[in-house]
Chains A and B, each alone.
Chain A
Amino acid sequence: MTRHEDIERYLSEEMSGDERLAFENELKSNPALREETALYASTAESLHRLLLADDNEQQLRKKLHPYRAEYFSAHKKDPKIRALPLIRWAAAAAIFTAIWIWSPWNTNPIREYGTITMPPLTERSADSVNGVAEAAGLFNEKEYEQALPLLNKELSSQPNDMFLLFFRGVTLIHTGQATQARTDLEQVYESKSVYRYEAAYFMGLSYLEEKDKENCRIWMEKIPAETQAGKKAQPILKKLK
């Protein structure tokens, strides 16, 4: 068993009482092991923060966006919006309620259900360091047209990278290139990648966008309900039935 495996077992609390005691004694007397254990633990903590999408943070970003124009733009928006009299709003709402029976294909499915964060989350200062980080930044800002050439470039040197293939697939859907997107996403689905069910979900969405209920259902049903992608797919499947 390697030292790193010992560290992993120690930090995951998988050591027996005696093993743990011996390891802790060694930590006291061995500064190199102590330092490596601390670095291992703090690296795992950072990765946890970087890799897991934080829905609350995405919500916060959305809330901040309108303030940008209000406080920083040279051309502030005219706050005056001509309001319809209340009674006309109420009448309009009633009419829409009566005629609007929700169907997923009556909305824009990709815009409605196709939001996903490309991890690791990027900072502005990472842009020049790493092409993938730059692509992720653009992707997360929904600048899909700009993210696409960067992803193409990265994939030209790593054509079998499922992470990149998945996010290029999603980017292609957002840029209206569903056929090419499906080539990428099917490849991801066929692999053992962590993104395989997300790939199936976006395959389904690409068909939903084309109002192809049958193929959408086929792909959504490939996703186990307990997975993250499955939780997103279930409400769509219910509406499709």
Chain B
Amino acid sequence: MTTKQHPLRPLTRRPVLAGLASLAALSGVRLAHAADSGPEQLARGIAEITKGATVLPGRVKLELPELAENGNSVSMTIVVESPQSAADHVRTIHVISEKNPIADVVKFHIGPRAGRARVQSSIRLADTQRVVALAEMSDGRFWSGEASVIVALAACIDAG
């Protein structure tokens, strides 16, 4: 915007709208996710993965700390109660976030050769939020587990 105006002249509609439009364009990607993020993001993420299949709460223990000192790296352990046999096993564990810019965080593909359905990783959490883990079973059903994490910020933001 290159309109030159006297600094004390009241803002007219056009430059304000132009300004807002360019602001929206600049932050276009983030705005799209921001509008979605929250319970809608979780619901949409779950729907995209399960495609209407049955989702039962239980059997999935999603371990995340109640309070994360820094959202850049949060340790996560997921254990699914499953015999992990050829006939009955976890095929994939999907992890979805409520408030990250992207709902999908990570997917683990395991099988009977794993011996047990237990995986660990470190994930990023953009803000205090819920996280959901979906266990996709060999029979096509899904079990789910959930955790809530409070994400603290560093005391010195912009910490060099």
Query: Are A and B a genuine interacting pair, yes or no?
Result: no
Q: Which residues of A contact B (CB under 8 A)?
A: none
Q: Which residues of B contact A (CB under 8 A)?
A: none
